[in-house]
């Protein structure tokens, strides 16, 4: 029986919430990192768009991993934000800045802290970053989101190579595809002027082509035992038969 310690940022909603609800290990201890308390697990309240809050997350990594004797430690960075959806130079500057900080910088900083805390742990160690096809596609009105995911993808590639040379933590980025979460609902409700490709996501919803979040989460957990190259950036839709596109 696997004894695991798992942190998930953003487990109060969306993919993070689904991942928290489908943990595959019976003896797993779950710690959520978010502003809102999730329905299950322990909660570390932190506004990840505020760099001052990152320190308490780092302290949690250090504190909980000191003397850890279990089988597996995992950090999943799923926290993210869509707002503001709209063109750069037109949306609210403060909201845009928060989006850039949370979307790009928080994942790198928290990932760095986890790697440091897990460096000498004698257990399976995995860092998973949730990414998106938006990192590779052009979506006017979604620039800060797509740019943030692209930055995290490159960070994962580089850090995975570093861990192969020295460190040994498995690092991977996973794009879950189009999933039936609040994020998708938010896209459908956005004015086309601010998000010109809105109709694409309306059509996916109307055709029933959004994937079930709990099934996506179970498929994502299963990836952790598949043995990818360190630093891999993978698309779940290309790996899971029948997964909705």
Q: How many residues are present in the chain?
A: 245
Q: Among 71, 2, 4, which Cα is nearest to 31's?
A: 4
Integer Cα distance of 30 and 15 in angstroms: 15
Q: In the predicted model, is pLDDT for residue 5 greater than 80?
A: yes
Is the distance from CB of 234 to CB of 228 less than 8 angstroms? yes
In this predicted model, which residue has the larger pLDDT, 4 or 38? 4
The H-or-E segment that residue 96 falls in is helix 93-100
Q: What is the dihedral of CA 178, 180, 185, 191, to 10 degrees?
A: 20
CA dihedral 56, 42, 21, 237 (to 10 degrees): 10
CB 48 within 8 A of CB 54: yes
- Is 218 a residue whose pLDDT tops 90? yes
Can you read off the two tokens belonging to residue 98?
Answer: 């928060």
**pLDDT, the chain, mean:** 90
Helix or strand (DSSP H, E) at 129: strand 124-130
Nearest to 235 by CA among 245, 225, 226: 245
3-state class (DSSP) for residue 98: helix
Higher pLDDT among residues 127 and 182, named by residue:
127
Order across the sheet with 29-34: list the strands.
42-45, 29-34, 4-9, 72-77, 124-130, 170-175, 232-235
Q: What is the mean pLDDT of the segment spanning 210-218?
A: 89
Domains detected in the chain: 4-237 (3.40.50.720)
pLDDT digits (tens, 9 = 90+) for 42-72: 999 999 999 999 999 999 999 999 988 899 9
Exposed/middle/buried for 32, CB within 10 Å: 0-12, 13-18, 19+? buried
Q: Which residue has the higher pLDDT, 105 or 13?
A: 105
- pLDDT, average across residues 106-129: 96
* 106 vs 39: which has the higher pLDDT: 106
**Residues 167-205: pLDDT tens digits?**
999 999 999 987 777 777 888 888 889 888 888 888 888
Q: What is the model's pTM?
A: 0.92
Per-residue pLDDT at 227: 83
> What average pLDDT does the segment 133-143 reach?
92
């Amino acid at each position: 029986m696997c004894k695991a310690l798992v942190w998930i940022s953003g487990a109060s909603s969306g993919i993070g919430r689904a991942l928290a609800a489908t943990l595959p290990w019976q003896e797993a201890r779950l710690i959520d990192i978010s502003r809102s308390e999730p329905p299950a697990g322990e909660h570390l309240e932190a506004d990840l768009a505020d760099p001052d809050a990152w320190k308490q997350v780092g302290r949690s990594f250090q504190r909980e991993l000191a003397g850890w004797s279990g089988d597996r430690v995992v950090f999943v960075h799923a926290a993210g934000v869509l707002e503001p959806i709209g063109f750069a130079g037109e949306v609210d500057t403060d909201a845009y800045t928060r989006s850039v900080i949370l979307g790009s910088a928080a994942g790198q900083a928290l990932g760095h802290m986890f790697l440091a805390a897990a460096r000498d742990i004698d257990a399976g160690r995995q860092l998973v970053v949730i990414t998106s096809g938006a990192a590779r596609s052009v979506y006017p009105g979604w620039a800060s989101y797509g740019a943030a995911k692209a930055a995290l993808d490159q960070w994962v590639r580089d850090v995975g190579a570093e861990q192969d040379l020295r460190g040994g933590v498995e690092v991977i980025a996973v794009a879950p595809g189009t999933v039936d979460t609040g994020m998708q609902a938010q896209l459908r409700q956005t004015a086309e002027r601010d998000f010109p490709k809105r109709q694409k996501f309306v059509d996916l919803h109307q055709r029933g082509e959004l994937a079930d979040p709990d099934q996506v989460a179970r498929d994502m957990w299963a990836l952790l035992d598949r043995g990818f190259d360190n630093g891999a950036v993978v698309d779940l839709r290309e790996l899971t038969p029948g997964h909705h596109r």
